[in-house]
Amino acid sequence: MMNRSFAATVASTLLPGGELANGVDVPCAGRLIDEATMSQWIAHDDAKAAVEAILDEAGGARAFVELPAARRADALRVAEAGHGSAFDKLVTELFKLYYEHPTVLAAFRWRSAPPQPEGHDLKGFNESRFERVAARGPIWRNIV
Amino acid sequence: MQTKKAIDVAIIGSGMGGAAFAWQLLRKTAGLKIICFERGGWVDPSQFPTTDFDWQSSALAAWSANPNTRLASGGNVYSADYAVEDKGSQLKPLMWNAVGGSTINWSAHFPRLHPSDFMVRSLDGVGVDWPITYEELEPWYESNNRMMGVAGLAGDPAYPPGLMPEFPPVALGSMGVRAAQAFEALGWHHWPVSAAVLTRSREDRQACNHCGPCSQGCSTRAKASTDITYWPHAIELGVELRTHSVVTQIETAAGRATGVVYRDKKGCEYRQPADVVVLAGNGIGTARLLLGSGIGPNSNQDPLGANLMMHPVAYVRGFFREALDGPVGPVGCCLYSHEFYETDKARGFVRGLQLQITRENSLLLQALRTVPAWGKEAQIMVSEEFRHSMVVMVMTEDLPELHNRVSISRDVACDGLPEVSIDYRPAANTDAMLLFGMDRAEELLRKAGAYRIVRQPYPPMTGWHLLGTAAMGTDPETSVVDPLGRCHRIPNIVVCDGSVFPTAGAVNPASTIGALALRFADRLARDFQ
Ligand SMILES: Cc1cc2nc3c(=O)[nH]c(=O)nc-3n(C[C@H](O)[C@H](O)[C@H](O)COP(=O)(O)OP(=O)(O)OC[C@H]3O[C@@H](n4cnc5c(N)ncnc54)[C@H](O)[C@@H]3O)c2cc1C
Ligand code: SF4
């Protein structure tokens, strides 16, 4: 049987979080995403074959949750090898939930609010920097 | 089927070509009765997803640039899409089907072709020459610029003198400045792009606030799209824009078009007689309608539907220890280099390419680049890449080949037109150009300080430019329309969109599409006078 803890454990195996590069520190996916969303994710039709393969490999949902971390990753690798496109779907759908989450955006030092209406500041430049390029003279092919 | 009162001109499609044509024709010949039939409706800028929290994932569903993805996700009420079978194509077709056409979700990079692009056969022995020259098109480029509103910097040595953008260039940001420094160190041409983006407000359009995802619609109206540039003026002059109206057939008799059949929102069909029928449905939509109306093909060498050009590209991405502002700013509008645009046979290919520094992905899209990787390693990769990357897009010349084409099937799609498919694979010359371009991009990124580089040749979701399927020329055997856009077979059918390109050049096409449409409309106006 699939439950929150199975879905959360799969999610956290795929996206374990922690300290990354460039000072980014993110939570694991299983702790971040709410229960209802997580249940929908793990039951996604197009990912079904991969989820079943994980359950088969681990010997059920509870067994999967109780496996040591390295063995959980192995079970996912088996599912990935046998059901590539369903597994990719599982990963892609999780990425959408995770990398659009305000907490994750903030951890990556990006604003969690949408792009509009605020927009972003962008540094201008000194146009004289292009005078040297212009000074080279025409580079287009004069055909007359 | 009810027959409507006859009109002078029926235009099909309200995007770049159709909008410019409609405005120019009525401006020059007051009193004409012109109706533009557009399969979609008006978009509402307040509904663009850029004000929503799920704006990133919407780019993978209802606000994707690809009509098949939009349909698969349940459709988008703001784009009246049709499916395009693309299994035979290395690139996926991208477009928007509403008032404004693909200028709704385009990136607004607005370069012109080079003079040499019009003479590739004479100069380099490949493709075909255009039946017009750069000089002949130049005044129309100017008019189109004024209508759209263009930002940029005068004095680009890659073009003949005279380009005077109305607005100052789009800011480069830290990523652009870093790229400029690298170009400078290599001694390569580089210039701020011409962008159909306002950098200062004008009338009811605000200045760009650098929000980023232009391909999901611009809610500030800083980005030019023909629904906000040409259409208000064309409608004021008296053009009728009939929305939610799919033209399913061009009717002909005795070698002349007699009008069109269209379907309204409720599915009711009408016959609309017209003296002239003008097509502007883009490189796929126009060919589909012409083929579906029995105007070709006459043989397997027939140019109608053939010679599809899609401008293959590669992305070369460099990663930096320092933070950069890559995801900020209008997506297509930073810097370009035309250092390698013109032919140099020593490179092992003819014609050339542009290097374009575009803006970077959102966090989600950057992360999805790493799929199928997962686990901590994948997450570390994302953190190394996001806000620490610079992307160089290599865009090559594309030349016509008969096997790259739009075809229709006998089956009818739910919009009443035949089902449509595309076949496209790049030529060996293109492979060589792309490889050369990727090497140069890598050289540039190394000079800029990148410590790791990833190449992505022919990414599928880059079929932005749909060109060449009703090519312009003087020979009816090898071209579909004459130098004024009139069909060789049926002269009162005019084509005024990207389909008429005989070759593609290595720059984005919309400024040339608009210029051609203005020119064709001007000539048609003389016939009416
Ligand atoms: C994501 C994206 C980014 C792009 N970025 C750039 C860029 O930076 N610079 C650039 O120069 N170009 C860019 N382009 C390409 C540019 O937008 C197109 O080349 C240009 O809009 C094509 O003009 P058109 O008139 O040929 O067709 P479109 O603008 O596509 O208009 C065709 C119209 O015809 C309508 N239509 C089709 N068939 C029918 C029918 N049977 N009945 C009624 N209506 C019909 C459609 O609904 C549509 O509105 C981009 C395109 C996309 C999709
Ligand atoms: S970046 Fe500028 S042009 Fe692009 S959508 Fe945002 S405001 Fe519009």
Q: Is residue A45 part of a domain?
A: yes
Does B173 sit in the ligand 2 pocket, CB within 6 Å?
no
Q: Does any domain span residue A130? A: no
Helix pair angle (A69-82, A84-99), 10° resolution:
120
Residues of B in contact with A18 (CB under 8 A): 376
* CA B25 to centroid of chain Cα atoms: 22
Nearest CA residue ID for atom 9, ligand 1? B109
Per-position b or e across B25-46, b if 16+ CB within 10 A of its CB: bbbbbeebbbbbbbbbbbbebe
Helix (H) or strand (E) holding A126: none
The total domain count for chain B is 1
- How far from the centroid of its chain's Cα atoms is residue B469's Cα? 14
E strand residue ranges, B206-334: 240-242, 246-253, 256-263, 269-279, 313-319
CA distance A65 to chain B (A): 16
Q: Is the pTM of this model over 0.90?
A: yes
How large is the ipTM? 0.94
pLDDT digits (tens, 9 = 90+) for B64-97: 999 999 999 999 999 999 999 999 999 999 999 9
Count of the separate structural domains present in chain A: 1
Burial class of residue B5, CB neighbours in 10 A (0-12, 13-18, 19+): exposed
Chain A positions touching B50 (Cβ under 8 A) are 114-116
Sign (positive or negative) of CA dihedral B435, B437, B439, B441: negative
Question: Could you tell me which of B245, B233, B204, B243 has the C-alpha nearest to residue B221?
Answer: B204
Distance from the Cα of A51 to chain B's closest Cα (Å) equals: 15
Task: Find the domain containing B368 and state its range.
Answer: 2-49+58-528
Q: Considering the domain boundaries, does residue A137 fall inside one?
A: no
- What phi, psi does B458 have (nearest 5°)? 50, 50
The answer as to whether A126 is a domain residue is: no
**What band does A1 get if pLDDT is binned at 50, 70 and 90?**
very low
Identify the pLDDT of residue A127: 87
In a domain, A129, yes or no: no
Classified as helix, coil or strand, A127 is helix
Which pLDDT score, from 0 to 100, does residue A2 have?
57
Q: Do B177 and A14 touch (CB under 8 A)?
A: no
B288 Cβ closer than 6 Å to some ligand 2 atom: no
Which residue positions in chain B have pLDDT lower than 70? Answer: none
Contact B168, B199 (CB under 8 A): yes
Whether B466 and B231 have beta carbons less than 8 Å apart is answered as: no
What residues make up the domain containing A101? 4-114
Nearest-CB residue to B383 (from A13, A24, A112): A24
Ligand nearest to the CA of B79: 1
Residue A123 lies in a domain: no
Peptide bond into A117 cis (omega under 30): yes
Scan residues 70-109 of A and list those with Cβ closer than 8 Å to B. Answer: 73, 76, 80, 84, 87-88, 91-92, 95-96, 98-100, 102, 104-105, 108-109
At B511 the pLDDT is 98
Task: Give me the CATH number covering residue B321.
Answer: 3.50.50.60
Best CA proximity match to B495, nearest among B337, B323, B302, B283:
B283
What is the percent of chain A where pLDDT is above 70? 97
Q: What is the DSSP string of A55-116?
A: HHHHTSHHHHHHS-HHHHHHHHHHHHHHSHHHHHHHHHHHHHHHHTSHHHHHHTT--SS-ST
Report if residue A122 sits inside a domain: no
pLDDT in tens, A39-97: 999 999 999 999 999 999 999 999 999 999 999 999 999 999 999 999 999 999 999 99
Reported confidence tier of residue A3, pLDDT bands at 50, 70, 90: low
Closest residue, chain B, to A134 (C-alpha) = B157
Q: Could you tell me if residue A77 is inside a domain?
A: yes
B386 neighbors B351 (Cβ within 8 angstroms) = no
Across the interface, of A26, A96, A102, the residue whose CB is closest to B57 is: A96
As a whole number of angstroms, the distance between CA B436 and CA A16 comes to 40
Model pLDDT, residue A126: 87
